A and B are shown apart, each in its own frame.
Chain A
């Protein structure tokens, strides 16, 4: 029965591939590089320079009321230490943003996956419903915020529907929890279609034969979904989370239109707080420092989420 043991070619390091055989050396022609110059100039002007100026600004005490940036005093890391150690409003805004983001992402993922699975089946009116389900994503965030602000008014449609099913109306914007719920529901309504679209395309790309193999091996529909479909969807799920995370940590428009961060600061997200620092209190240097901290935090978060996706992409290339 026993055969000669053969070394496993895969061995956890991927299969040897003809990569490199006959591949171009990778040296672009100088004329080809010239074509990238306009793009590089534009990105330098609109991205690198403002970023560098903002970074410099974050190490000063500059406010526009005290003259030009050149007259500002260099304060070193004072703004950063202030934000990270003493500014509880900032830290609370960060925590609040993360909590709202996590809840929103979980709900959007669950709803998007449910819809995607539903749309893998055939049913009447599928094409019209598909367009309808995608449409929220196409609406401007400001419009969404304003629309939901009207829907959540004390005599608005949401309270009327609650009344229909025998529940008492809620003053959505007068206490903390209902306000947070309103923000989350608005965000989930707006961005579930993105999860739906990405996951549906992922489900459509799942190869059929492993599913058939699992069925033949005796897997139930639940086992099939949990043990075969979801692992195959993992890279797509991660991409969806990365895209949405990058977007949701900047959550601003809907909150601004719905609650302006209130009541109190119970729905104040970090973007809204930075906006208030910069444009209400004119603490532009302090706001720039806060913005840089958020940028670094976001990059770290996205990097964490990208790790498994990177692995997948590298594996495909091998």
Chain B
């Protein structure tokens, strides 16, 4: 079996005599033709990791192997690694042709070869018309193609992309993302893609490694990581909006255990208990995670528990409702239904400004009934609302579709079980008079 294209082992970078640990003992591999995304918030150590791989910074400890060869002592220009910067870093005063040729010229490649390779790369990246234009005069996406081309001309073994879409206008990003995808597929490059944008990471990478405070907290196949976050930080970072996290304790309840929060409770039947929970003993903190899409907004009298609306962010077809439930912030995604143009309202009808959380009449058959303990029927998603009518401070009822509930250890923040089968039951530990 051949060695991976890149192997980073125990990579650590410490600045200021130990005061700042930028990268903390991370290990990962990139196989030939594979794209690994390093995903994480700003300051989590992604770019430092790239700098160490490319040779701009020396690791404090650890090893970097490219095609099985340790490159820690190899200077930056001789590692056979290309890096595309966030700000493209084109040589603005040079023509596009000179930019593309730069890497080959400084290696004293034959002029005929340089011309051939530059023309080929320019054609591949649709830069032929720009070859004699000064790079500084190009648009952002053109400059980015120049930066990629300048790197590709040297045929690096590994291509590093440092947030290549961050400086582009939002409207230009999908096209450039497609362009990068094409590059990947046609050239079968081994790529490390650094980004803080989960959409980029999920759409371009084969695997995703989530970084937090210099560590890799989860590394997973792209599709897996969204569904099964292994760490509270991952759950809070991925998704838009991210997962709701509620902290609480577990208590024995009729053979199973009950997660109790100020607002509501979840009963885990004995057969659905994550491994090792009973051995952990009482008084342990746990974190319960569920996606905003699984939290269902219903009229207050129909809710398993109640919350207060803090605000609504309209995103187009749907909207994110921010709620406060017994001191815990929660987010819920509801379908945004635009209200039809108002007709002459018959006398005695409800005021338009009043919040109406009742399901639309035509939606009456919509909620899919599911036995969930005390709650009788939970729609799979929140019914469509005219979200403009959801006013700040209005009460809202909440129920939860429990299939995708995830339980985390409250201390280590690690996930305790990937799936909970059979489905736990949600109920209100202190039913309100209306529900009772």
Residues of A in contact with B (beta carbons under 8 Å apart) = 1-16, 207, 209-210, 212-220, 223, 227-228, 231-232, 234, 315
Compute how far the CA of A207 lies from the CA of B92 in the bound complex, rounded to whole angstroms.
11
Q: Which of A6, A11, A213 has the most CB of B within 10 A?
A: A213
Asked if A10 and B130 make an inter-chain contact with CB atoms under 8 angstroms apart, the answer reads yes
Residue of A nearest to B131 (CB): A8
Q: In angstroms, how far is the closest chain A Cβ from the Cβ of B141?
A: 9
Compute how far the CA of A60 lies from the CA of B362 in the bound complex, rounded to whole angstroms.
101
Asked if B102 and A227 make an inter-chain contact with CB atoms under 8 angstroms apart, the answer reads yes
Q: Using Cβ atoms and an 8 Å threshold, which residues of chain A touch B83?
A: 212-213, 216
Q: List residues of B (81-104) whose CB comes within 8 Å of A's CBs.
A: 81-83, 85, 87, 89-94, 102-103
8 Å CB contact of A228 from B91, B130, B154? B91
Q: In angstroms, how far is the closest chain B Cβ from the Cβ of A231?
A: 4
Asked if A231 and B93 make an inter-chain contact with CB atoms under 8 angstroms apart, the answer reads yes
Compute how far the CA of A3 lies from the CA of B87 in the bound complex, rounded to whole angstroms.
25
The 6 closest A-B pairs by CB, nearest first: A218-B77, A8-B130, A209-B89, A217-B103, A10-B138, A231-B93
Q: In angstroms, how far is the closest chain A Cβ from the Cβ of B148?
A: 12
Q: Using Cβ atoms and an 8 Å threshold, which residues of chain A touch B136?
A: 315
Asked if B129 and A216 make an inter-chain contact with CB atoms under 8 angstroms apart, the answer reads no
Compute how far the CA of A216 lies from the CA of B91 in the bound complex, rounded to whole angstroms.
14
The number of chain B residues touching the other chain, given as a range, is 35 or more
Asked if A8 and B138 make an inter-chain contact with CB atoms under 8 angstroms apart, the answer reads yes
Is B356 part of the binding interface, using a Cβ–Cβ cutoff of 8 Å? Answer: no
Q: List residues of B (113-155) whose CB comes within 8 Å of A's CBs.
A: 123-130, 132-134, 136-139, 142, 147, 150-151, 154
Compute how far the CA of A210 lies from the CA of B150 in the bound complex, rounded to whole angstroms.
12
Asked if B133 and A8 make an inter-chain contact with CB atoms under 8 angstroms apart, the answer reads yes
Asked if A12 and B132 make an inter-chain contact with CB atoms under 8 angstroms apart, the answer reads yes
Asked if B127 and A218 make an inter-chain contact with CB atoms under 8 angstroms apart, the answer reads no
Residue of A nearest to B141 (CB): A9
Q: How many Cβ-Cβ contacts under 8 Å join chain A to chain B? A: 109
Q: In angstroms, how far is the closest chain A Cβ from the Cβ of B195?
A: 17
Residue of A nearest to B124 (CB): A1
Compute how far the CA of A168 lies from the CA of B300 in the bound complex, rounded to whole angstroms.
105
Is B54 part of the binding interface, using a Cβ–Cβ cutoff of 8 Å? Answer: yes
Asked if A10 and B102 make an inter-chain contact with CB atoms under 8 angstroms apart, the answer reads no
8 Å CB contact of A1 from B94, B106, B186? B186
Residue of B nearest to A316 (CB): B136
Residues of B in contact with A (beta carbons under 8 Å apart) = 54-56, 76-78, 81-83, 85, 87, 89-94, 102-103, 106-107, 123-130, 132-134, 136-139, 142, 147, 150-151, 154, 182, 186
Residue of A nearest to B54 (CB): A216
Q: In angstroms, how far is the closest chain B Cβ from the Cβ of A210?
A: 5
Asked if B137 and A315 make an inter-chain contact with CB atoms under 8 angstroms apart, the answer reads yes
Q: Using Cβ atoms and an 8 Å threshold, which residues of chain B touch A228?
A: 91
Compute how far the CA of A90 lies from the CA of B308 in the bound complex, rounded to whole angstroms.
91
Compute how far the CA of A8 lies from the CA of B141 in the bound complex, rounded to whole angstroms.
11
8 Å CB contact of A8 from B76, B124, B129? B129
Q: Using Cβ atoms and an 8 Å threshold, which residues of chain A touch B82?
A: 216
- With contacts A12-B137, A214-B102, A218-B77 known, is A2 near B124, CB below 8 A? yes
Asked if A3 and B89 make an inter-chain contact with CB atoms under 8 angstroms apart, the answer reads no
Asked if B129 and A231 make an inter-chain contact with CB atoms under 8 angstroms apart, the answer reads no
8 Å CB contact of A15 from B81, B93, B139? B139
Residue of A nearest to B136 (CB): A315
- With contacts A2-B123, A212-B56 known, is A10 near B106, CB below 8 A? no
Q: Using Cβ atoms and an 8 Å threshold, which residues of chain B touch A209?
A: 85, 87, 89
Q: Using Cβ atoms and an 8 Å threshold, which residues of chain A touch B142?
A: 8-10
Compute how far the CA of A219 lies from the CA of B75 in the bound complex, rounded to whole angstroms.
11
Q: Using Cβ atoms and an 8 Å threshold, which residues of chain A touch B138?
A: 8-10, 15
Residue of B nearest to A224 (CB): B106
Compute how far the CA of A8 lies from the CA of B134 in the bound complex, rounded to whole angstroms.
11
Q: Using Cβ atoms and an 8 Å threshold, which residues of chain A touch B54?
A: 216
Compute how far the CA of A77 lies from the CA of B83 in the bound complex, rounded to whole angstroms.
66
Asked if A10 and B94 make an inter-chain contact with CB atoms under 8 angstroms apart, the answer reads no
Q: Using Cβ atoms and an 8 Å threshold, which residues of chain B touch A215?
A: 56, 76-77
Compute how far the CA of A11 lies from the CA of B89 in the bound complex, rounded to whole angstroms.
19
Compute how far the CA of A6 lies from the CA of B125 in the bound complex, rounded to whole angstroms.
9
Q: Which of B76, B78, B137 has the most CB of A within 10 A?
A: B137
Compute how far the CA of A318 lies from the CA of B82 in the bound complex, rounded to whole angstroms.
31
Residue of B nearest to A2 (CB): B123
Compute how far the CA of A7 lies from the CA of B83 in the bound complex, rounded to whole angstroms.
26
Compute how far the CA of A10 lies from the CA of B87 in the bound complex, rounded to whole angstroms.
17
A–B complex contacts, Cβ < 8 Å, 26 sampled: A3-B124, A8-B127, A8-B129, A8-B133, A9-B142, A10-B137, A10-B138, A11-B130, A12-B132, A12-B137, A13-B137, A14-B137, A207-B87, A209-B87, A210-B89, A210-B90, A212-B89, A213-B91, A216-B76, A216-B81, A216-B83, A217-B77, A217-B103, A217-B106, A218-B103, A223-B106
Q: In angstroms, how far is the closest chain A Cβ from the Cβ of B385?
A: 36
Question: 4 more A-B contacts (CB under 8 A) besides A219-B77, A231-B91?
Answer: A210-B92, A212-B83, A213-B91, A227-B91
Compute how far the CA of A11 lies from the CA of B102 in the bound complex, rounded to whole angstroms.
21
Asked if B137 and A6 make an inter-chain contact with CB atoms under 8 angstroms apart, the answer reads no
Residue of B nearest to A3 (CB): B126
Q: Using Cβ atoms and an 8 Å threshold, which residues of chain A touch B129?
A: 5-8, 11
Compute how far the CA of A209 lies from the CA of B78 in the bound complex, rounded to whole angstroms.
18
Residue of A nearest to B82 (CB): A216
Q: Using Cβ atoms and an 8 Å threshold, which residues of chain A touch B92?
A: 210, 232
Q: In angstroms, how far is the closest chain A Cβ from the Cβ of B315?
A: 26
Q: In angstroms, how far is the closest chain A Cβ from the Cβ of B169?
A: 11
Compute how far the CA of A3 lies from the CA of B181 in the bound complex, rounded to whole angstroms.
13
Q: Using Cβ atoms and an 8 Å threshold, which residues of chain A touch B94?
A: 231
Q: Using Cβ atoms and an 8 Å threshold, which residues of chain B touch A213?
A: 83, 85, 89, 91, 147, 150
